[in-house]
Amino acid sequence: NAGVMQNPRHLVRRRGQEARLRCSPMKGHSHVYWYRQLPEEGLKFMVYLQKENIIDESGMPKERFSAEFPKEGPSILRIQQVVRGDSAAYFCASSLERYGAGANVLTFGAGSRLTVL
């Protein structure tokens, strides 16, 4: 019973390149959340998705960042034309239901650490 799987665990990109981060939620979970963590800071919400739908992207920068959660396959966070300030740990989390008894806990993946040179 695998947990939330994120890959790659570490990614190095040069400025201007694209970064793609993948997240496979726990089996049976249809709600996916992406968070960003800068060094020595807490997690900042980026986007909340359900299968094929973006529900809330209020935390995601308007430019260069996009996220998807297709009907088949993992959720992908895509960062185009990366800059040094994008260097951070990106965490994916999933939950069973949107909100309700027994469904409130987000299970996190191990994170993907992006370094932009």
Partner 1 sequence: AQKITQTQPGMFVQEKEAVTLDCTYDTSDPSYGLFWYKQPSSGEMIFLIYQGSYDQQNATEGRYSLNFQKARKSANLVISASQLGDSAMYFCAMREARGRDDKIIFGKGTRLHILP
Q: Residues with Cβ < 8 Å from 82, sequence gap 6 or more?
A: 13, 14, 15, 16, 17, 18, 19, 64, 114, 116
Please report whether residue 115 would count as binding partner 1 according to CB under 8 A. Answer: no
69/91 with CB nearer partner 1: 91
Nearest distance from residue 107's CB to partner 1, in Å?
Answer: 7
- Neighbour tally for 37: CB within 10 Å: 15
Tell me the window of 14-22, 61-69, 71-79, 85-93 that interacts with partner 1 (CB under 8 A).
85-93
* Stretch 12-71 residues interacting with partner 1 (CB under 8 A): 31, 33, 35, 41-45, 48, 55-56, 58-59
3-class DSSP state for residue 85? helix
